[in-house]
Structure 1
Amino acid sequence: MNPSLPRRQVLAAAAAVAASMAGLAAPAAAQTSAWPKQPIRLVVTFPPGGAPDILARLFAEKAQLGQPVVIDNVPGAGGNIGADKVAKAAPDGHTLVMGTVGTHAINGALYARMPYDMVRDFAPVAHVASAPNLLVVTNNVPAKTVPELIAWLKANPNAASFGSPGVGSSVHVSGELFKSLTGTQMTHVPYKGRQFAIPDLVGGQIQLMFDNMPSALPMAREGKIRALAVTTAKRSAAAPEIPTVAESVPGFEATTWFAMFAPAATPKDVVARVNAEMQRVFKLPEVADKLKGLGLEPWISSPEELARFQAAEIAKWAKVVKDSGAKAE
């Protein structure tokens, strides 16, 4: 017997095992390294400066996904234009959207024709945060409380206008709900974004707004506008001195929320990876503190929790839109 044969057999066997192990490891390695292959585009459906933009930029700044997260502000049509771009994007995890209560719960009832299906065209990733809207008025309005505002509006029907960053936004529907429950009359003025509405509010071209609290609260504290009430059922921990609308108008409640969605059919392992990174980023102490300081209540859900929450919100807002008679202009 050739004495070197056993050694060759051992080496051959070892090589075979190594090749086999490499073959098993290669798909796993490929699976984890295949995404992301390029920068991740995170679409914000409103212009810079509002709550969805703030949340998206916090995530982009802190995320560690192997590729940069690039913010793409695509405003218009109450967020529908930006959301539609994501709905029609390749389902490879490289395009995401910071959805809102408008783009993913309200607009389906408000618009006669939608460019996308709020449920079927998206894969839920995670709910991020919610916040009250803040009822604010220009300093020229004589009312300092909600009852005084109602009395002033009834004494001056259709003399007042309320602004919003777009049709279908929670800011818009909060105003429509207020009109419906108080029997007041005022004109809705949609803007292309809050940064266009706020100068008109400060200057008195429009009289009031139900702005997102993270945007409106700092300006109210600076005295540029006057805060009358928050739109949630309970007072906000960020501004407990400000009453709720419901304290004067029973049954009034409107909460705005923000959530991440991917195109439908995005691989589940990619969705899970984004969700895990969102859990990490938004639980960082400095991020959590910033959100609370802005009046945002963080809640990073699982994809399944977001799906259930979205379904309930769609049903809720469909009723609000129907009862208020609101429609997209």
Structure 2
Amino acid sequence: MSTPRRAALALAPPLLVARRSSAQAQAIRAVCGSSPGSITDLIARIVQPGLAQRLGQPVVVDNRPGAGGNIAAEFLARAAPDGATIMVTSGGILTLNPYLYRDLPFDPVRDLRLVSRITAGGFLLAVPASIGVTEVDGLIAHLRRKGEASNYGSPGIGFAMHVGAEVFLNAIGARVTHVPYRGSAAAINALAAGEVDFLFDSRGPLLPQLQSGVVRVIANGGSLPDLAYPDLPRLSDRYPEVVVQSWTAIVAPAALPEPLLRRLDDAMRATLEEPEATARLRAVGNGPAYLGPEAFRQFFQEERARAARGVELAGIRPQ
């Protein structure tokens, strides 16, 4: 009579269990397109232990920053589709980069296979407390009163917060000058000083200024409730085309076989169900927002269309 473990091994696809010793020895490379300490890197390291445990193989985070994440994505696209190389990616690399770079070294549709969405969360619409605005209608009225002198900040040209702001302005019918800064910290400091009238950004970078009371959040740009402000109005409830959010996911080389895709996806789903992983993800910003391959593909198509529209409205030309 076989033991449960032997029975499980007997039923598993040969690709997954060909040799127990070699499977245990081979590490899975989880490529990350940003530097150590970045949000995407932190998320990769939070899910790393759970994936390793469930896959029965070490998982090593391999940071390959540069070119807006394109270096890491190209590396993944060229990797063997054997499950030994995956990528923990932010959404912008897959959705915005194709419209921002003229000679993109990979095609996210042709060269990559979507495995699982890990997290998702909206960028928050923030204003200086000094202007006395407490809701979206108040901001619209403020921008109209200020007229051509009104402006908004962002971490830089082509960031999701920049593109999303243009979609928002198009929805409310306002013309506002964009002021790009070098990163979120500089943009938020300018907001706190009243140098710009609004911006979109994540809760983490905004938190010190929110706690001090010099900045106020008035709306959630995402499709999911915010973890810290669950009652904050979502812009998409009023303007369906306005969805300004960040997300992370696991992707693999395009030719990854179906059994390996399912194995990776099962491991990620189970990892995101762990209370410890959930708590740690919530602590760094966005909580788990799992989508499996089929639902993830639909979500990706919607995000890609939104990115194309936003880049067009922002008047950004590929560089």
Runs of 5+ unmatched residues, structure 1: 1-24
Partner of 1:259: 249
Aligned residues: 302
Whether contact under 8 Å (2:153, 2:187) holds in the other structure is no
Q: Which residue of 1 aligns with 2:4?
A: none
Counterpart CA distance in 1 for 2:88 and 2:14 is 34
Give the stretch that moved more between structures: 127-136 or 317-326. Answer: 317-326
Whether the 8 Å contact between 2:34 and 2:63 is mirrored in structure 1 is no
**1:120 shift after superposition:** 1.0
Q: 1:52 aligns with which of 25, 34, 40?
A: 40
Is 1:236 the equivalent of 2:229? no
Shift of residue 251, structure 1, vs aligned partner: 4.8
The residue matched to 2:109 in structure 1 has which SS? coil
Cα distance, 1:261 vs structure 2:
0.6
2:289 aligned partner: 299
CA distance in 1 between counterparts of 2:279 and 2:219 reads 23
SS in 1 for 2:110: coil
Determine if contact 2:117/2:292 at 8 Å carries over to the other structure.
Answer: yes
Query: Which position in structure 1 is the counterpart of 2:3?
Result: none
Q: What are the residue-to-residue correspondences of 1:110-121 with 2, within 5 Å?
A: 110-121=100-111
- Deviation of 1:264 (Å): 2.4
Secondary structure of 2:162's counterpart equals helix
147-156 or 25-34, larger mean C-alpha shift: 25-34
Contact 2:220 2:232 (8 Å CA) reproduced: yes
Distance 1:307 1:233 in 2: 16
Give the Cα–Cα distance (whole angstroms) in 2 for the partners of residues 107 and 139 of structure 1: 34
* Contact 1:36/1:93 (<8 A) preserved: no
Matched residue type, 1:30:
A
- Distance in 2, matches of 1:141 and 1:42, equals 45
Q: CA deviation at 1:26?
A: 9.5
The separation in 1 between residues aligned to 2:307 and 2:168, in whole angstroms, is 14
Q: Is the counterpart of residue 321 in structure 1 residue 311 in structure 2?
A: yes
Output the amino acid matched with 1:132: G
In structure 2, the CA distance between the partners of 1:257 and 1:29, relative to structure 1 (3 Å rule), is closer
Letter in 1 for 2:117: H
Report the equivalent of 2:278: 288
* Structure 2 spans left out of the alignment, 5+ residues: 1-12
User: In terms of Rg, which structure is larger?
Assistant: 1
Cα distance in 2, alignment partners of residues 290 and 96 from structure 1: 22
The whole-number CA distance in structure 1 between the counterparts of 2:149 and 2:64 is 34
RMSD between superposed Cα atoms in Å: 3.6
Matched position secondary structure for 2:291: coil
| TM-score for the superposition, normalised by structure 2 | 0.75
Q: Secondary structure at the match of 1:157?
A: helix
Residue of structure 2 in register with 1:186 after alignment = 177
Partners of 1:108 and 1:37 lie apart in 2 by: 36
SS in 2 for 1:300: strand
Q: Partner residue of 2:268?
A: 278
Distance (Å, rounded) in 1 between the aligned partners of 2:27 and 2:186: 30
Q: Which residue of 1 aligns with 2:6?
A: none
After TM superposition, the score normalised by the length of structure 1 is 0.73
Identity of aligned residues (%): 29
Alignment partner for residue 30 of structure 1, among 6, 18, 40? 18
Distance change (3 Å), C-alpha of 1:29 and 1:251 = closer
Deviations 1:137-156 (A, max 9, x none): 34555544333333433415
Measured after TM superposition, the shift of residue 203 of structure 1 is 5.9
Judged with a 3 Å threshold, the aligned counterparts in structure 2 of structure 1 residues 214 and 49 are, in CA distance, closer, same or farther, namely farther
